[in-house]
Every structure is written in C-alpha cells, then in structure tokens.
Amino acid sequence: MEPAKITAARELAEELRIKAADFRLLFVRESMDKAAGRHIQFLVFEGINPDFSTLATGEDERVEGYDFFGPEEIREKKIYPSMKEDILEYAMGKAPELFKTLEWIP
C-alpha cells in the first residue's frame, strides 16, 4: 500500500516517463455498480512543475500513445470515466467540485 501522491508519481512515470516536483489533488470521482457490488474511486491530480523532457510511452503496454488537448478539442473527445465536464472546467481555469459520483458505464 502506498500514499496517493506516491501512486500518482509512479503511474505518471510508468505510463509517460514524466516526473513532477509535487502533486496537488484536484478532485475525486467515484462510480458504483451496485448490482455487481463494484465501487471505483478516481483521484485526479495536477503534476506541479512536470519535466516533459523524457516524455514517451512508458512501461505500461496499454498506453499506445499520448497527445495534448485544449478545451475545444476536449469537448469532442470521449473520456472514460465520464468526467469530461470536470476536465473542461479545470482547463478553463475553474475549480471543479471536489467530490462527485459519476454514472456507472459498463
């Protein structure tokens, strides 16, 4: 078991080979499938002072590539879990609601 900030740093390094000086929790989203007894929580962090000089797909073979999107492009993308509005708010300089329950998407 590891603290959430350490997990965020590890995942960012494993998936995109990026390191950041620190991480700030932006918001938490949860999704529940009551029928199947599943409950998933998503902690969304901002990387503080990220070092993009080593940006590349990392060790996680599920990551096939990466890209950067502005608010207009984000509007056109499918994003799972369904937190597009929260990401758009953040991209436009607003603070998303700290905690929210999302619709379960099978």
16-49 pLDDT, tens digit each: 999 999 999 999 999 999 889 899 999 999 999 9
What is residue 34's predicted lDDT score, i.e. its pLDDT?
Answer: 87
Q: Tell me if the pTM is above 0.75.
A: yes
Retrieve residue 104's tokens: 């379960």
d(CA 8, CA 78): 22
Beta carbons of 104 and 62 less than 8 angstroms apart: no
